[in-house]
Structure 1
Amino acid sequence: MLVILDRDGVINAYEEGQYVCSLAEWQPIPGSIEAIARLSRAGYRVAVATNQSGIARGYFSRAMVDGIHEHLQGLVQEQGGRIDYFAVCPHHPDEQCSCRKPETGLLREIQQHFGLSSLSGSWMLGDSRSDLEAALAASVKPVLVATGGGQATRASLDSEPLEGVELTDNLASFVETLLG
């Protein structure tokens, strides 16, 4: 089984329109590191799919993003787990790439990495409409967290609903429900 996580707003604190430009600015949401490790220890594969347009905008480098991911991986490993794969879209929204969510390129990259014929049966947790739309387009079960931009996204779903979206308070509560 596979769980795909958006990064900003799901794993770490994030406010819409803000960029995490350094490791010093990157702060995990309470319980998220332990939740990832718990998924991993329970036999789930965990992947991160993250739009990082700040690279194209010149706010930070790909090396900085990779450094944050190495730090995140270390924190998860300290809890006895691991993140199996990181998929990153470094493009500006104007570039019209196929990997920037809501496009499915990052999810297809993850699918290919794991050698899966499909992603059906997998979950994707996100805090934005683009996360949910990418999940639905790739036949992944979409889960909206209330952290990050999740509250605003939930309000937008009232006027423009998406079918099949599950709601959860945060990553830790999703894992608690999934694993019991």
Structure 2
Amino acid sequence: MKLIILDRDGVINQDSDAFIKSPAEWIAIPGSLEAIARLNQANYRVVVATNQSGIARGLFTMPTLNAIHQKMHAAAHQVGADIDAVFFCPHCVDDHCDCRKPKPGMMRDISQRFELNLKGVPTVGDSLRDLQAGFVAGCVPFLVRTGKGAKTEAKGGLPPGTRVFADLAAAVDHILTTA
């Protein structure tokens, strides 16, 4: 099985420092959903792993998060893309959970759910914590410059072997031509 793990905000959809708190605020980054469709056509299963501390902060509810994800799935289907699963951490930093990236809890959950060792699995994010969580789990880290990615790249300290691309579409182009 071929698997890829994507962060959500800043990779698939536009990010906001004020959080994505409603379906209306979820706006796909141009080309991101089509990139997911290309992954599907190449027999990749696409999984999203996203921190959603807005729940713990009281900025939105679980039904709202579900509605945001329903919009994401519907938009993906409109271009022939399928997202197999969405894993999320609803906690804030002060909760000291194991699922909030950069901790690897979500990655372990993905590994167990798909019965797959994550060694060599591509993971795409726009923040250092996205890359760190994947790297610790054995994933190959890809940084996109969309969302917070340009700032993340400028700060440095990326995990060894991190590849950097303009956006998800460019990262997918690379993955599909080197796989």
- Give secondary structure in 1 for the equivalent of 2:142: strand
Amino acid at match of 2:14: A
Deviation per CA, 1:53-99: give whole Å up to 9, x if none: 00000000111111111111112122222111100100011000000
Kindly indicate whether the alpha-carbon contact (under 8 Å) linking 2:131 and 2:158 is maintained by their aligned counterparts in 1: no
**Shift of the alpha carbon at 1:178?**
2.0
Out of 164, 167, 174, the position equivalent to 2:164 is 167
Which ranges in structure 1 are unaligned for 5 or more consecutive residues? none
Alignment of 1:64-83 (within 5 A): 64-83=64-83
Amino acid at match of 1:9: G
Distance 1:64 1:36 in 2: 23
Distance 1:40 1:68 in 2: 21
Distance 1:156 1:115 in 2: 35
| Alignment pair present for 1:11 and 2:8 | no
Alignment of 1:78-97 (within 5 A): 78-97=78-97
- Give secondary structure in 2 for the equivalent of 1:154: helix
Q: Which residue of 2 aligns with 1:132?
A: 131
Alignment of 1:110-125 (within 5 A): 110-116=110-116, 118-125=117-124
Amino acid at match of 2:9: D
Distance 1:167 1:12 in 2: 18
**Shift of the alpha carbon at 1:23?**
0.7
Q: Which residue of 2 aligns with 1:23?
A: 23
Q: Which residue of 2 aligns with 1:178?
A: 175
Identical-residue share of aligned pairs (%): 47
| Alignment pair present for 1:152 and 2:147 | no
Deviation per CA, 1:13-53: give whole Å up to 9, x if none: 113x3201111111110001111111112100100000000
Question: Number of matched residues?
Answer: 176
**Shift of the alpha carbon at 1:162?**
2.6
Q: Which residue of 2 aligns with 1:48?
A: 48
Amino acid at match of 2:169: A
Which ranges in structure 2 are unaligned for 5 or more consecutive residues? none
**Shift of the alpha carbon at 1:9?**
0.4
Structure 1 segments of 4 or more deviating over 4 A?
Answer: none
Kindly indicate whether the alpha-carbon contact (under 8 Å) linking 1:41 and 1:80 is maintained by their aligned counterparts in 2: no
Distance 2:108 2:159 in 1: 21
TM normalised by structure 2 equals 0.95
